[in-house]
Structures are given as C-alpha cells and as structure tokens.
C-alpha cells in the first residue's frame, strides 16, 4: 500500500472515442473519474457516436490537488472538453452524473447550445443538516474523513477502495486503520461542491434544450425529494423525468441498474438527435 497511487489504473483516465458526426460530452461526479461514464460512452460509441469523457481537475490521480480546486475550475474543464468535442462533431449533447450533472446544467444554461441534456442523479444540494455551516467550518475543520467508521465487510465500501487502490488488502487490520485515517476530503472542496450545485439550481430555469433526468428511487446521496425540487426549476416544457429502482451509483458498470440507465440514455438521445 505504501507505493500505491490512487486511481492509477487505465480505466480512470480521460477518453475520447471518435465515430460519427454526433458527439456526447460525459461529465463524471464529485470524487469520481471517467470510469463511471464509460458504460454510457461505450454504448453510444457502438451506435455511431463520438464520446468525450474528461477528468475534472482535482480528481483521479490528481486528487492530491483537490483542496486547491474551485467549482469554476471544474466548469472551465467541462467547457474546454465541449469545445474539443465540437471540433469534429456537429451535433452534440451533454451527459452528466451527480456533480457532473450540475456542471452540465450550467453549461446548457450559458452560451453553449447542446442538442440535449441528460442528467443522472443530478446534484444541487447537500442532504445534510450541517451543510449550512460548511463555508465557515472549512476554516476550523480543514478535512473530513468519510470512512472514519467504515465497515470493511460492506461490499460497497470494498468496491470503492478496490476501485481506488486495486490490489489493496482490505482484510488487513493495519490497512483498514490507515484507510480510515488517511482517506480524507478537504472541507473546502465540499464547499466548492455546494457552489457547483448552486450553479445548477440557478441555471435550471434558463435551460432551453430537451432534458432527460434519471433518478434513483433509493438514492441516499441525491434523494428523490431534492430532485423533484430541481425538476420544478426547469420551465421550458422539454423535460422528461424517469425514476428507476437504483441508488446513487446507477451509472457504474457494477451497478445492477446500469443496463437500464444505458438503455434509457441511448434511446433518448437517438430520438432527440434524429
């Protein structure tokens, strides 16, 4: 574990798969990587789409710089990837997951003109009673440890660490203790996540393109009631909302709901572009 670098395996790298004239920008979520967008990307690519999934600044192998990143950095990176995709695709859409959906909404509400918007588990607000104090708390509590009380027998916890550090011995008590102590998020980065969500909430009324929202019925990170509030912010009459049996990780390859998500996305964007 001493020499292991987080997210060092190839699937976490950005990818650009060229195919037809229609392009899809795929934006991953907070502490995610392009790996979570690959199932959607490969499905679209197989059906004649060019797909581009950037890695946002401060995530993946770049996660050691996360405390220096701002919401504007993530938005600028997504916009730069959009312009790169537009160089060889005349019809483009944006697909975003969680915080990536926040950025997708902000892009569509601005000067860009995607043909469609697809949002999976769209984040706009932390569902936590402590959220209002985070902008102040970041000055006194610089880091939070999300796995401080982690149960390493929990399959989801194990999947997260195996994705981040392939080959790590999660049954070793010393390794478990180090992961609980050393796996930390800058509190300032959580504040920037909240700012990205606010961009989405403020931008939603200005979106003028066909939009699909896919929401998991038992998503504890982005609960249904919050997505319903965000849904009310879209006022263009071009919104389709689909709720499925899924949690927050619905886009990931190992999620039981991934096949349904891919099916919904592919069917929707092909109809919109056609």
Domain ranges of the chain: 10-131+189-273
CB 109 within 8 A of CB 204: yes
Angle at 20 between CA 14 and CA 25, to 5 degrees: 35
Mean of pLDDT values over 112-121 = 95
3-state SS, residue 242: strand
3-state SS, residue 67: helix
The span from the first CA to the last CA of the chain, in angstroms, equals 50
Residue 145 pLDDT > 80? no
pLDDT at residue 39, as a whole number: 97
Confidence grade of residue 8 (pLDDT, cut at 50, 70, 90): confident
Selected residue with higher pLDDT from 118 and 175? 118
pTM: 0.89
Q: pLDDT tens across 181-236, in order?
A: 877 778 899 999 999 999 999 999 999 999 999 999 999 999 999 999 999 999 98
Hey, what CATH topology would domain 10-131+189-273 get? Answer: Rossmann fold (3.40.50)
* Main-chain phi, psi angles of 91, to 5 degrees: -115, 115
Mean of pLDDT values over 116-127 = 96
Residue at token pair 């401060």: 58
Q: Where are the alpha helices (DSSP H) in the chain?
A: 38-46, 71-86, 99-109, 134-137, 155-164, 173-182, 187-203, 224-231, 258-273
Confidence grade of residue 152 (pLDDT, cut at 50, 70, 90): confident
Report the mean per-residue pLDDT for the chain.
90
pLDDT at residue 37, as a whole number: 98
Confidence grade of residue 242 (pLDDT, cut at 50, 70, 90): very high
Q: pLDDT tens across 13-49, in order?
A: 999 999 989 999 999 999 999 999 999 999 999 999 9
């Amino acid at each position: 574990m001493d020499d292991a670098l987080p997210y060092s395996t190839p699937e976490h790298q950005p990818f650009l798969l060229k195919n037809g004239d229609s392009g899809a920008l795929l934006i991953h979520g907070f502490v995610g990587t392009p790996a979570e967008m690959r199932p959607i990307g490969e499905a679209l690519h197989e059906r004649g789409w060019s797909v581009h999934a950037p890695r946002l600044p401060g995530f993946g192998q770049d996660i050691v710089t996360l405390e220096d990143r701002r919401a504007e950095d993530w938005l600028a990176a997504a916009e730069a990837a959009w312009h790169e995709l537009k160089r060889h695709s005349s019809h483009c859409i944006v697909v975003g997951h969680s915080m990536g959906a926040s950025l997708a909404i902000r892009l569509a509400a601005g000067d860009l003109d995607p043909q469609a918007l697809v949002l999976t588990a769209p984040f706009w607000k932390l569902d936590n009673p402590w959220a209002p104090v985070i902008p102040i708390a970041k000055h006194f509590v610089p880091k939070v440890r999300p796995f401080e009380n982690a149960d390493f027998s929990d399959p989801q916890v194990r999947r997260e660490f195996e994705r981040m550090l392939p080959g790590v011995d999660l049954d070793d008590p010393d390794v478990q203790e180090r992961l609980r102590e050393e796996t930390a998020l800058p509190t300032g980065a959580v504040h920037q996540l909240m700012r990205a969500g606010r961009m989405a909430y403020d931008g939603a009324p200005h979106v003028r393109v066909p939009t699909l929202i896919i929401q998991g019925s038992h998503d504890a990170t982005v609960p249904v009631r919050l997505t319903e509030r965000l849904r009310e912010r879209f006022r263009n009459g071009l919104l389709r909302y689909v709720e499925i049996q899924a949690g927050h990780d619905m886009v990931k390859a190992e999620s039981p709901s991934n096949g349904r998500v891919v099916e919904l996305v592919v069917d929707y964007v092909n109809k919109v572009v056609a």
